[in-house]
């Protein structure tokens, strides 16, 4: 489990992909890691396989299907976050590291000292119900507040600190991002029909 507060960025050193999955080697963070640790890489919960010249991860086809990891190129920056300790502060929101879908950045527009990102959602007919203005969403693992929501897109406003300390500062129109919706919204959507049926038949 994570909070969506990015601790560091890393650089892709090597990527190998075939029909069985993908291995990804990135530069080491400033904090210590060991094999088996869970790390969020662009919002994807990833298990450290080994640590040598860099940090090595393995991904199965399902993870590649739902995320933008297969689009990564050598030299790209990725967001990193360590898994949450019970004693940690929850500065963002609860992020599981289970990507729901991807989205494409449609526009990047400056507004004062912030930048507005407009993001179209893949399979929007399934997922837009989980978004609400002032609600939470994780974009490439970053905990963000939703501003506007329409039929197939939403907007977020990014402050300078986030632009400087995450890979959003390097994103532009046409870039694909990973999206994880608020787990509480997903549980409510699942539970409400059952609660209504229970109330009807009680």
Rounded distance between C-alpha atoms, residue 185 and residue 94, angstroms: 11
**Is-same-fold flag (8-82; 101-187)?**
yes
Rounded distance between C-alpha atoms, residue 57 and residue 46, angstroms: 7
CA angle centred on 158, ends 54 and 146, rounded to 5°: 110
Q: By C-alpha distance, which of 59, 93, 68, 101 is closest to 171?
A: 68
The CA-atom distances, in angstroms, between 123 and each of 103, 127, 128 are 9, 7, 9
pLDDT at 197: 60
Low-confidence ranges of the chain (pLDDT < 70): 194-202
> Which pair of tokens denotes residue 59?
């991904």
pLDDT digits (tens, 9 = 90+) for 34-71: 999 999 999 999 999 999 899 999 999 999 999 999 99
Rounded distance between C-alpha atoms, residue 150 and residue 70, angstroms: 28
In CATH terms, the fold of domain 101-187 is Elongation Factor Tu (Ef-tu); domain 3 (2.40.30)
pLDDT at 202: 57
The CA-atom distances, in angstroms, between 87 and each of 2, 15, 84, 90, 180 are 13, 35, 8, 9, 24
Count of Cβ atoms closer than 10 Å to residue 99 Cβ: 25
pLDDT at 87: 78
CA 91 from centre of chain: 16
pLDDT at 108: 97
The CATH number fitting domain 8-82, selected from 3.30.1490.20, 2.40.30.20, 3.50.50.60, 3.40.190.10: 2.40.30.20
The ranges assigned to domains in the chain are 8-82, 101-187
């Amino acid at each position: 489990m994570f909070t969506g507060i990015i601790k560091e960025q890393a650089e892709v050193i090597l990527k190998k992909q075939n029909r069985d999955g993908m291995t990804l080697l990135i530069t080491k963070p400033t904090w210590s890691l060991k094999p088996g640790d869970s790390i969020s890489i662009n919002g994807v919960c990833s298990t450290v396989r080994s640590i040598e010249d860099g940090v090595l991860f393995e991904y199965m086809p399902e993870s590649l299907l739902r995320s933008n990891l297969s689009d990564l190129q050598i030299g790209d920056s990725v967001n990193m976050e360590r898994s949450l300790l019970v004693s940690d502060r929850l500065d963002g929101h609860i992020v599981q590291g289970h990507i729901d879908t991807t989205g494409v950045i449609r526009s990047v527009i400056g507004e004062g000292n912030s930048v507005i990102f407009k993001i179209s959602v893949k399979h929007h007919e399934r997922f837009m119900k989980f978004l609400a203005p002032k609600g939470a969403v994780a974009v490439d693992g970053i905990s963000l507040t939703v501003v506007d929501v329409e039929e197939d897109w939403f907007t977020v406003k990014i402050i300078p600190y986030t632009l400087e300390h995450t890979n959003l500062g390097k994103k532009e129109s046409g870039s694909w991002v990973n999206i994880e919706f608020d787990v509480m919204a997903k549980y409510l959507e699942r539970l409400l029909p059952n609660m209504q049926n229970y109330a009807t038949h009680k």
